[in-house]
Structure 1
Amino acid sequence: MPGLTSIRMTGDKLEIVNQLVLPHTTEYIEINSIEQAHDAIKSMKIRGAPAIASLASLALVFHLSQALELSPTPEYLASPEALQGHVTPILDFLYTARPTAVNLGAATRRLNKTLQSSLVSGKHARAIAEDLIAEGRLIADEDESRNRKMSKWGGDWLVEEDKRNGGSGEVLNVLTVCNTGSLATSGYGTALGLITYLHESSKLGKAYYTQTAPYHQGSRLTALELKALQIPSVMICDTMVGSLFQHHKIHAVAVGADRVARNGDTANKIGTYNAAVLAARHKIPFIVVAPISTVDLDVADGASIPIEHRPPLEACLVRGALYPPSFDSQGNKQQAQVMITPSDLDGIYNPSFDVTPAELITAIVTEKGVAVKKEGESTFDLSGIV
């Protein structure tokens, strides 16, 4: 998105945009330690599976780059064994921040693989650190390129799918859930990238996006990105999806993913399963757009995907700008956090994600192509796109 990205690293400074105060305030905060990176991911100051993986990787880059400049040299750079003993717990710690987002695990495993390969090669500690820095930067940098590839794959497939179903493929209305644009990735986006690609190709009618649970604020971030891209769009509450499908022509639902199981079952932001069920009822194609790193071939199906549950209090709170608007001394809109439920509820169910079964998914798109189910089958063979 022009002028606003989830992460920026310039010189010796690593910053993220604080998504907890968007869209009314744009605030970049510095990440100066592994602990701060972990907290930013866990507290959802940064969100979106690809962006989380990028921050974790760049946090290690920042940490090791600083270490190489220190005098005297830190003890963990004295030998390959000492460096391994230092880096391995860091990677393990970063992984614990958001367990459902498989991209985070893929990034930490990839960095660990680089560490092991460098150890086997007999390199000294500083050279191993430099290898890890290079790999960490690569993990972050390659995200935008693959996003553009998968967006084109998915957009072109949808145009042809509409033609196969008797449409013109010219003016397509697409619903998406949660934020999957440049604020959730390192650039361009996944499902929102598909919508952007259709817009750039002059084949998008309108983008529709759902307002999910208050704390997750996916729609607010999506609204910000679509507005900046000047894409015509409409926000709806997630309880209104059925009504939307009844009264408006929607050509597809496109969503991202935090983890895709081997059979195609997909974990994504809470509310995705609801949209998939309604899309199936109305015979609307349901498309998952996600990088290869989101596909977890070690997980057979959705039943084995760990689902993160957020603190119960988060489901009771909503944050936003005061209305009528009020401004602080810097000209920023003043914001407030309020409780929208009684304070003495008996129980609160607050999962961050749900799992959409493969049978409800029409197509899964990665940077390598589009997978669809074989005739008569309810699960996917993803071997061609991973």
Structure 2
Amino acid sequence: MENHLQSVKYKRGEYFQVLDQLKVPHELVYRDIKSVEDAVDAIKRMQVRGAPLIAIVGCFGIAIELGKEIVQIDDKTQLLSYIREKIQALIDARPTAVNMRKEGLRLIDFLEEKAKSRDNVSILKTDVLVWIEDLYKLDLETNKASCAIGKHGAEAILQKYRKNSEGKINVLTICNTGSLATSGYGTALGVIRALHGNGDLNQVYFTETRPYNQGSRLTAFELLVDKIPSTLICDSAVSWLMKNHDISAVIVGADRVVKNGDTANKIGTYQLAIAAKAHGVGFYVAAPFSSIDPTISTGDQIVIEERPGTEVTQIGTRVWNPAFDVTPANLITGIITEIGVFTPEELFVKLDN
């Protein structure tokens, strides 16, 4: 399926731009990213968001500095120090999402290995640029293969749930998990696109997703562009929706899935899982393997980012504003990846092998 929205624009040594998601859908404005500091700022301000996209934007921030030779680096020791410092700053920008950490550490490992046999810093810089550009291409392929995620998810859900007389289903999602959260097709929204493309979707309901309204702004926009039958609901309406409408499955994305299947995602996801369990509705997490973190055993170890209170109120009252919550594995029906759908128990076994 055609990707209607381009989250990033990049040309080596010339420019790097990100779509400012704070202005979507009213404006499609691209912000110039000229440094890692610009990338960190865009991530912190949520001009870009979504775990896969955060990693892409962070790494491209490094690429634009190296490609335009903004920083003076004279030898491989300086280059290694530079990469380690910039990766840490990018990880710290939004610590809950795992992709930036995983890809950043992979980049460091890659460069350390290359530096063992190469002294020419210009060649090493080019190696880094190629690695980052390949990371973007891989993310695009992962999205197209969702085509993989979408195909596997749609098949798994349809095998278990068919509700109306026409054999179509209603699903519910939260936040934004499509073109604007990735480099292309999307995760949970990729599954929804697949259901729609196959003629199996009756209606997708989606929450407004307070306090940033990624659902009512970004998901609404993507669904309208793709002409997918959809209905916006308030965050607080999900339980009543499940009681009064035939919802077959909840499909959400993930910022981090840990070894036992516990999943960190946008705040409000946990309560969706509880409501789904109470109403006999399937609960599916759609995420590429890049969002799975086998180094953490349970969700209790995930660092949950807390955002400024000004995102919620302006009158000075005390505010608790976590950006994410953790859904326990025992509430998850299946975890949809580009290589198949796993129960949390099956994922645990796969990660151990």
For Structure 1 versus Structure 2, the TM-score category normalised by the shorter chain is over 0.9
Name the residue aligned to 1:367: 338
Q: Which shifted more, 202-211 or 138-147?
A: 138-147
Name the residue aligned to 1:103: 99
Alignment length, in residue pairs?
A: 348
Question: Which of 316, 329, 348 is 1:344 aligned to?
Answer: 316
Q: Is contact 1:160–1:169 with CA below 8 Å preserved after alignment? A: no
Q: Is contact 2:3–2:184 with CA below 8 Å preserved after alignment? A: no
* d(CA) in 2 for partners of 1:23, 1:123: 48
Name the residue aligned to 2:8: 7
* d(CA) in 1 for partners of 2:109, 2:199: 43
Over the aligned positions, Cα root-mean-square deviation in angstroms equals 2.0
Q: Which amino acid aligns with 2:312?
A: A
State how 1:214-253 maps to structure 2 within 5 Å: 214-253=211-250
User: Given the two structures, how large is their TM-score scaled by the length of structure 1?
Assistant: 0.86
Name the residue aligned to 2:348: 381
Q: Is contact 1:369–1:385 with CA below 8 Å preserved after alignment? A: no
* d(CA) in 1 for partners of 2:352, 2:197: 25
State how 1:86-101 maps to structure 2 within 5 Å: 86-101=82-97
* d(CA) in 2 for partners of 1:360, 1:126: 50
Percent identity reads 41
Q: Which amino acid aligns with 2:158?
A: V
CA distance change for structure 1 residues 385 and 158 in 2, over 3 Å: closer, same or farther?
Answer: farther
* d(CA) in 1 for partners of 2:319, 2:172: 28
Does 2:281 match 1:284? yes
* d(CA) in 2 for partners of 1:54, 1:228: 24
Q: Is contact 1:181–1:189 with CA below 8 Å preserved after alignment? A: yes
Q: Which amino acid aligns with 2:174?
A: V
* d(CA) in 2 for partners of 1:54, 1:344: 36
* d(CA) in 1 for partners of 2:75, 2:190: 44
Name the residue aligned to 1:21: 23
State how 1:1-386 maps to structure 2 within 5 Å: 2-10=3-11, 12-67=14-69, 75-76=72-73, 78-147=74-143, 148=146, 149-162=148-161, 170-316=167-313, 339=314, 343-345=315-317, 347-373=318-344, 381=348, 383=350
User: Given the two structures, how large is their TM-score scaled by the length of structure 2?
Assistant: 0.93
Q: Is contact 1:80–1:124 with CA below 8 Å preserved after alignment? A: yes
- The DSSP-based 3-state class of the residue aligned with 2:28 is coil
Higher Cα Rg: structure 1 or 2?
A: 1
* d(CA) in 1 for partners of 2:308, 2:166: 44
Stretches of structure 1 lacking an aligned partner (at least 5 in a row): 317-338
- The DSSP-based 3-state class of the residue aligned with 1:381 is helix
* d(CA) in 2 for partners of 1:238, 1:204: 22
Q: What CA deviation, in whole Å up to 9, does each residue of 1:205-251 have, x standing for no partner?
A: 11110012132533310000000111010000110001110111011
- The DSSP-based 3-state class of the residue aligned with 2:243 is helix
Q: Which shifted more, 216-225 or 304-313?
A: 216-225
